[in-house]
Amino acid sequence: MNSTKKQPGFWTYFAITMTIVAGMLSSNLKADTTPASSFNVEVIGSGKPVILIPGLLSDARVWRQTALYQQQIDTIARATLEFNADSRHFIMLDQPDWLTQRIAAALKD
């Protein structure tokens, strides 16, 4: 009976190394201990009021870009701003049905 053990391979050492590095890096991270305000209002631009509510794990920074886009179209009559979070760079390829529905709805008006 052959009792030779197989030596650990590259991926074993890689996994051990990454675990050690991750442990060292995570010890440097600290939780934000500043108390959060229960409600905060930030006004960007002018025009029709729009309420943007960030998701559970996000804050107001996710909506700042949206507010800047809205500010650009506020001067255009009958313009609306719509976002599709499931799309990437080319919405016409990523979400063609969603885009077609929005265009058809806009043309009806």
Q: Which residue has the tokens 């009559």?
A: 77
Alpha carbon distance 95, 103 (integer Å): 12
Q: What percent of the chain has pLDDT over 90?
A: 1
**Contact by Cβ (8 Å): 68, 83:** no
Residue 16 — pLDDT band, cuts 50, 70, 90? confident
**Contact by Cβ (8 Å): 47, 73:** no
Full-model pTM = 0.37
Domain locations in the chain as residue ranges: 61-108
